[in-house]
Structure 1
Amino acid sequence: MRKRWALLPLLLLFVTACRDSNGAGPRIPDVVVDEQINVNSQLFPMLRQDGGYAYIPGGYKGLLVVRQNAGQYYAFERACPYDPTASCSEIKVDASNLFIVDDCCGSQFNLQGEVTGGPAVYGLRQYQTALMGSVLYIKN
């Protein structure tokens, strides 16, 4: 029985190593995210309509805030999960305003951050959001 428990840490290490080395490329570096914005500010006019978005500083390569509706906002890391350390890796909303794309690797994501095409296999890194009045708090 003791031998089984002794192997548990080794098994967990193996599972973790496999998860990080499955061809998804380098991990997005962990950084502290603690931002707040006023969604009614003149700086973010697109956040006043559903499907609107704004780019703000923060995170590893910046943040993309997307409004789903008046009470729900998503905040995503702008580094593409396929190869976040590439100098050209930076997601943006496509000119059609219908999806998110990384022009560097060609990965595409819907406005909820899920993969819809390209080499990326993981969705966008999403941060927690909380709306209090007109202030949106973004944290990890």
Structure 2
Amino acid sequence: MTSKHWPLLLALLAILASACKDSSNSPIIPNVPVNAQLAVNSQLYPELRQDGGFAYLPEGYKGIIVIRQNANYYTAFERACPFDPTNDCEVEMDPSRLFLTDPCCGSQFNLQGGVIGGPAIQGLRQYKTSLVGATLYITN
């Protein structure tokens, strides 16, 4: 390689290296093992008997919110906001029951975990769910 090609090569390497950097200054939500189950018909979770109903579980980093999308499909999300998972708040169902919110930063998420407002730019961390009979299994 001739010396006139070195500046071009170095420029290309600099571009590639900068493309790999995380442009977000947000802290990372720690990965914790999740292996939970709940009976969706249990008296402990009466909200899960209707579409849009929800329940809070203690598992996960800051807890999990389970949302009934329909009778056969439930979603489960980490309650730590991706904007600042180290704050003292937990993502919760808004009183309108139309979206989720982080009361600390004001970020808002739809019931599928996607960002709809606030400073967060990433959606909520979603856990895997599997409904077998009346038992919902939640894992990562």
Which of structure 1's runs of 4+ aligned residues deviate more than 2 A?
11-14
Provide the identity percentage.
62
* Aligned match of 2:35: 34
* Mapped partners of 2:46, 2:69: distance in 1: 15
Matched positions, count:
127
* Aligned match of 1:22: 24
Give how far 1:123 is off: 0.2
Give how far 1:22 is off: 1.9
Q: Please state if 1:91 is matched with 2:91.
A: yes
Give how far 1:117 is off: 0.2
Give the TM-score taking structure 1 as reference length: 0.85
* Mapped partners of 1:132, 1:13: distance in 2: 46
Which deviates further from its counterpart, 78-87 or 123-132? 78-87
Larger Rg: 2
* Distance verdict in 2 for CA 1:129–1:12, change over 3 Å: farther
Give the TM-score taking structure 2 as reference length: 0.85
* Mapped partners of 1:119, 1:61: distance in 2: 19
Q: How does 1:51-66 map to 2 (within 5 A)?
A: 51-66=52-67
* One-letter code aligned to 1:55: Y
* Mapped partners of 2:24, 2:104: distance in 1: 20
* One-letter code aligned to 1:116: I
Q: Please state if 1:100 is matched with 2:100.
A: yes
Provide structure 2 residue ranges, at least 5 long, that are not aligned to the other structure: 1-15
Give how far 1:12 is off: 7.9
* Mapped partners of 1:87, 1:72: distance in 2: 30
* Mapped partners of 1:48, 1:107: distance in 2: 27
Q: What secondary structure, in the 3-state scheme, does the structure 2 residue paired with 1:47 have?
A: helix
* Mapped partners of 1:87, 1:22: distance in 2: 20
Deviations along 1:70-99, one digit per CA (max 9) or x if unpaired, are 0100000000010001123x1000001000
Give how far 1:13 is off: 9.9
* Mapped partners of 1:59, 1:117: distance in 2: 24
The root-mean-square deviation of aligned C-alpha atoms, in Å, is 1.8
* Mapped partners of 1:138, 1:13: distance in 2: 37
* Aligned match of 2:8: none
